[in-house]
Amino acid sequence: MTRKLWLALPLLVFALFVGAALWRLADPPSTVVASKLVGQPLPPFVLTAALPTKPGFGSADLADGHPRLVNLFASWCVPCVAEAPVLADLKARGVGIDGIAIRDTAPDIAKFLGERGDGYARIGADPNGQAQIALGASGVPESFIVDGRGIIRYHHLGAIMPQDVATIMAEWEKVR
């Protein structure tokens, strides 16, 4: 009898494995990546100007009573190219946008903005990605809506596309 149990054990393990796989396929884990900083003050950072024509900024500048959309971008970022006209549209709708240029150079940023449009009031340089890390951002582009007290109220992972504008505007209206 014991020998039969030992022979059936691999079949039982295989059945458990198949059952677990079917269970995860039927109920997959969430694919939403939520920032742990939503509802928290911005981490402290100070960024020098990425371009001579625009001021840099820091987290203290984002607690001036006016909400801002902070967009992490790079001239070398392909999704940032698709996002640029949407940011210009948001700017035209009254959304104040500040940019953080991640691991980029002034000539490349200037060329990117000249070709793709410039929706930014201020652009801070983050040559080593320190502000990016402090914000818990995993890549570019990513955007944060910050209320007038410097509290992160919304995090958008990836490029803001036309279908995201309604959500961004709704989140923006909440902090105005």
- Residue 34 has a pLDDT of 64
- Residue 10 has a pLDDT of 76
Residue 28 maps to a domain? no
**Which secondary structure element, helix H or strand E, spans residue 20, and what is its range?**
helix 2-26
What value does the mean pLDDT of the chain take? 91
Residue 71 maps to a domain? yes
Q: Which DSSP letter does residue 28 get?
A: P
Residue 22 maps to a domain? no
Residue 3 maps to a domain? no
pLDDT tens figures, 9-60: 777 777 777 776 677 677 666 555 567 889 999 999 999 999 999 999 999 9
Residue 6 maps to a domain? no
Residue 4 maps to a domain? no
In terms of phi and psi (left: phi > 0; alpha: psi -120 to 50; beta: otherwise), the region of 36 is alpha
3-state secondary structure of 163: helix
Residue 15 maps to a domain? no
Q: In this structure, what CATH number is given to the domain that contains residue 162?
A: 3.40.30.10
Residue 96 maps to a domain? yes
Placement of tokens 């502000």 in the chain:
131
Domain range for 84: 46-175
* Closest to 62 in 3D by CA, of 135, 122, 149, 154: 149
- Residue 146 has a pLDDT of 98
pLDDT tens figures, 134-153: 999 989 999 999 999 999 99
Q: How many domains does the chain have?
A: 1
